[in-house]
Amino acid sequence: MVVHGPHSDVPFYNLSTTWLSGSAEVNKQTTHEEGMAAVTAKSILFLEENQYSNFEWIGESEDGSLLCRWEEEVLVRGPVEGSSGEGGPEEGTSSLAFATQIAIATPDLHSTQVLYTFDKVVPVVQASVNASRNLLGFVTRRHIGETNKYAAYVAEIAPQGGVFSLNIDSSRQIFLEFLHTEESRKPVVDSWIAKLLVFVHRESISIYSFPLSLKDGASWVVDDLPLKDSVVRSFVWAQWEPRHNHLYYLHYRPPPEVGLTLGSGESEEDEMRPRPMLTALQFHPNKPHETVLNVPLELSGLEHSPMDLSGDYRDQGLLHSAGDAWLDLRVVTSPSGAVCICHHYIYKSRLAETPADPEGCEVYLAYSVTLLHHGCVLHSVVPGVPWGHAHSVLPTYSLFGEHYLLVIVPGVCMHMLDIGLDHLPNNHIVTTPPAQLLPNAQLYQIIGGKVTSGRSMTFIDGVNQMTVEVRVTKESLFSLFKSSPILSTRLAILHLTAVHDKDHDLSRKLMWSVCEDLYNLDTPALLQEYLVSETYAAVHKHIDSDAGHLISLLPITTAPFTSDTEYIESPVEENVRISYCFLENACIMLLSPRERVVRSLTDTWTKLWEHTSRRHHNRFSLTDVVDKLMVSLDTYKPEALSRGSTPVSPASPLVGGLTITSLGITLAHLMFDPLPFNEAENTTSSKLEHLLSVTLRELSMYCLKHFPHESPMRVHAVASKYVCAQLQVSRRLCSILCSSQTLIPTEKGEKGFSFIEQLDEAVANRLFTLLERYHSATEAVAYPLPQGYNSFLSYLAYRCLPYHVFMQYVRRGVLQLNVDVLREIIYDLDDSPKNVERKLEIISSVPVVRSLRALQYWQHPMSLILRSRLHAASILAGEGPGQPRTPTQSGRINAQHLQNKGLTAFPTADRLSPFDTFLDLLTAKANLTDIDVGLLYEGTIASCEYIKPIIENEITVTQG
């Protein structure tokens, strides 16, 4: 069942029917100079040049031309006062009087052409013109007592001729629309049929066929009574879409049978009550129309009669709809298959007190968007809107490109909803309307004019008679990104820039703005979104067409598809809330392409069928890789791995058999992303290689799990491209962050540790803070770090942080002390007692093999002691020499030591020394060639000379 209503956890009820409608201004309006759109409002040109009385817009043509009416003084003929009424020119006289004129404005609204001039004031509220512009259908509304009476007419306008009444007089709203499907292919003959759709609210929708004939070879006239064909018997609400020839109408259906409800504990009375259903009809040229869609809806307040909330209809010809004034419903469709059913409603909390003046009562303005292509309903609730404004405001829903639905509520909000077919609706941009948009505006989108770009839209303000141009530019997005405190909105802007626009320059600029506020808690989340979005965009751009189904499994955003999301606009007031619910047990009937009247036709409904019938899989989760790494890295020993044990080599440009240039990343492009460190690591195998191999394996297995019949080679190629893009995007982000804080060294300039030494202390601290955020962001989404980054960050931390804080980072595994970093730290610290303890603490915090290599750079007795002890311990434990030499080297060095020192080393009374005895024990465990006699000798000497004074001092202190 499709549900239209606010979140179930929020208490609410329908507004009291005793409240009066009104159009009060918003009491408290928040406007920002920064916004997601640049809005330009200006007066309509032909309205400035002329003076019109009671000007109104009454309809729209298929080509974007707009129908309008006004009252103007014209020369009319009337009967002579006291005349008998017989023929003769003396019977009539001419005089000036106000009369109604109906005209059509060009799509750019620069000029108008009068279609029909009445001889008196006629209360026309809506009109439609056929494609050939020789017939005009219009609706009048007259006040008779306390009720309104609607009537429908058709007039000949090429040239102006008679007016024919359709003999429909009703208190219900009437709406007319000419069908353009027949006229586009009319034969070149002397007669043809013009068809007119006639809507009578809650009564019927019919097609009137007018036979036309060519008179005098110049004008088309109606030569017979029209034929009437019923289309719909009764409806609550209806909408006509002239560009796609869609007809939507809302009607009641019988009570559902067992199994068609939500199963949420509804009472039997609620289950058996009639429920509304939305039906869509598709009209074809020279073919009968067909019912293509039936979907049940549940709309807030539909159980009330139309007179409960309003005693009048809203006659707005530009909406192409007829229905109750309180039922604000719109259907927006795109040729790509996106179908959005938009419903606007108002409610207030049960706990809220009703003030003496209902106009000032703050209510919740809400709207819901049913996304049939995603099978979910999106609810948006904006709190704190005065009742007078909330009741009179008219939201505008417009498709913005292929991926967004632009919702504008003047004086309240402006939202860009991510409703594209690529992924679930995760990323929405929420902001307040711009100051140029007046709070009482009623916007209607128009097609045509100068602005035809997909990033801009043109509206008419029907109240203030202005054109409003809304442009989403790079500057406006960047301005909103910097000023908005809402993390969800900032993530959505970054997602729009990277995935949909693929604007790498703007993405770089957005990341630079993130770097301006280093201590913002949202920084890691924004960095994660950049990594995931840019990687998806890079792979999508270079993926083969036959692997398009595999890219639907790749991560596209970090924003979760949650049931409830808050968009904070002010810390004092309540927040805008967007929530979702899935269509559970939805009884949706959609015609398959085989059941269509025209089977070869490709339109909105065939694409919707293809999208909904396709099996949709969950995207690959990077948190799975994080979980795998948490287990594997506990036993990960880089020094024990060989380069051949993993499929990716750090020193090679190949990733899974693919070169970097296979992604279109050339060497010239890489020169624009320099790094302040050398991209090399002095290890046989690195964590980078291990991480890429885990990601490659997990992604390949995930693709094969969901597409078991896919070729493993194709799966491996897609996974390899993704892993390669991960590495390059991570590298690019690191370069962006570094360049935002300091100058990047030139190609021939110094890099690495020398570059850090040249930095000012303040710059170094900011750079470390930013790179720490980057480090945590990559770990959260299992992204690789550039080669050489770990050493650069560790030495930068050593220079920036206090020693005890630096050691905390080391113990927690944030900083990796590679051999080159250890060497620099050992050289930097002197051999004072305090620094000796620090060196020992730092060296002991790394694996044994790495600590042995670091001790070789420390020319100190303690280094000899530790190396000799570790060497002897490894031999006694049967683990080998620890640092083996070649047999020739070991034999020559050991022979020299035995010849020079021999058995006279550390002599005793019986000419035997403990050292020589210890050597005898070692030779029993290992060959002499595996024993470093010189190291053991020097370590023993150092032990006696370095430790003995320390022990004597301790004994003296104790005895004293």
Q: pLDDT, tens digit, for every residue of 144-168?
A: 888 889 999 999 987 888 899 999 9
Quote the CA–CA distance of 177 and 165 in Å, as a whole number.
15
**Chain-centre distance for alpha carbon 767:** 30
Extended strands (E) in 375-447: 376-386, 396-400, 404-409, 413-418, 429-431, 443-446
86 by DSSP, 3-state: which? coil
Task: Report pLDDT for 741.
Answer: 80
Task: Report pLDDT for 48.
Answer: 79
- Residue at token pair 């291990």: 690
Confidence of residue 449 (pLDDT cuts 50, 70, 90): very low
Average pLDDT, the chain: 79
Q: pLDDT, tens digit, for every residue of 200-218?
A: 999 999 999 998 888 776 6
- Return the C-alpha torsion angle 300, 303, 308, 313, nearest 10: 70
Residue 670 has pLDDT above 50, yes or no: no
Residues 895-899, mean pLDDT to the nearest whole number: 49
Answer whether 309's CB lies under 8 Å from 186's CB.
Answer: no
Residues 696-704, mean pLDDT to the nearest whole number: 94
Task: Report pLDDT for 687.
Answer: 77
**pTM score:** 0.83
Q: pLDDT, tens digit, for every residue of 277-331?
A: 999 999 988 889 999 999 988 776 555 433 334 457 888 889 999 988 888 999 9
Least confident window among 90-94, 286-290, 530-534, 569-573: 569-573
Confidence of residue 515 (pLDDT cuts 50, 70, 90): very high
Answer whether 33's CB lies under 8 Å from 430's CB.
Answer: no
Task: Report pLDDT for 181.
Answer: 66
Residues 250-275, mean pLDDT to the nearest whole number: 59
Task: Report pLDDT for 221.
Answer: 82
For 779, 911, 949, the CA distances from 940, given in Å and listed in that order, are: 45, 18, 15
For 202, 302, 341, 380, 561, the CA distances from 4, given in Å and listed in that order, are: 22, 11, 10, 11, 19
Residue 23 has pLDDT above 60, yes or no: no
Burial 852-879 (b: 16+ CB within 10 A, else e): bbbbeebeebbbbbbbbebbbebbeeee
Residue 396 has pLDDT above 90, yes or no: yes
Residues 341-360, mean pLDDT to the nearest whole number: 75
Task: Report pLDDT for 666.
Answer: 40
Question: How crowded is residue 150: how many other Cβ atoms within 10 Å of its Cβ?
Answer: 22
How crowded is the C-beta side of 812, counted as CA atoms within 13 Å? 9
Answer whether 789's CB lies under 8 Å from 677's CB.
Answer: yes
- Return the C-alpha torsion angle 805, 807, 810, 815, nearest 10: 50
- Alpha helix positions (H), 243-366: 268-272, 306-309
Task: Report pLDDT for 532.
Answer: 97
Those residues with Cβ within 8 angstroms of residue 207's Cβ, 6 or more apart along the chain or in another chain = 179, 195, 196, 197, 198, 228, 229, 231
Least confident window among 291-305, 330-344, 537-551: 291-305
DSSP 42: E
State yes or no: cis peptide before 433, omega within 30 of 0: no
643: tokens are 């380069």
Length reported for the chain: 960
> Between vectors from CA 787 to CA 786 and to CA 790, what angle results, nearest 5°?
85
- Residue at token pair 């512009």: 133
Task: Report pLDDT for 747.
Answer: 62
Task: Report pLDDT for 69.
Answer: 94
Least confident window among 406-420, 482-496, 838-852: 838-852
Task: Report pLDDT for 87.
Answer: 42
- Residue at token pair 């280093």: 518
Residue 634 has pLDDT above 70, yes or no: no
Confidence of residue 950 (pLDDT cuts 50, 70, 90): low
Quote the CA–CA distance of 311 and 831 in Å, as a whole number.
93
What type of residue sits at position 294? Answer: N
> Number of helices (H) and strands (E), helices first, in the chain?
26, 35
DSSP string for 202-222:
TTEEEEEEEEEEEETTTEEEE
Residue 58 has pLDDT above 80, yes or no: yes
The phi, psi pair for 554, rounded to 5°, reads: -80, 145
Task: Report pLDDT for 263.
Answer: 42
Confidence of residue 879 (pLDDT cuts 50, 70, 90): low
Query: Which residues does residue 676 pair with via DSSP β-bridges, in sequence order?
Result: none
Q: pLDDT above 90 covers what percent of the chain?
A: 35
682: tokens are 């002095």
Task: Report pLDDT for 301.
Answer: 54
Q: pLDDT, tens digit, for every residue of 458-471?
A: 899 988 889 999 98
